[in-house]
Amino acid sequence: MSASWSWIRPPRPAALDLIPSGAYTIPAISCVGRTPRQLQEAHVPYEIGHIHF
């Protein structure tokens, strides 16, 4: 079904703003989506998580 459906339906554009990025460090650092500044400017509520080692 999946292979035949891909021939009928055109592909969707990739959501490039939702591709995660990361740095392989100890501890690991990663992010996905908009920056806190972009969220503040758009008045979108958000939370930032921290893990203490």
pLDDT of residue 52: 73
pLDDT of residue 7: 67
The residues with which 22 forms a beta bridge, in sequence order, are: 30
pLDDT of residue 12: 73
The whole model's pTM is what?
0.46
pLDDT of residue 6: 59
CA distances from 26 to 29, 46, 50, 51, 53 (A): 8, 25, 14, 12, 10
Sequential pLDDT tens for the chain (53 residues): 455 555 676 777 777 667 777 777 777 777 778 888 999 999 999 888 777 76
pLDDT of residue 30: 76
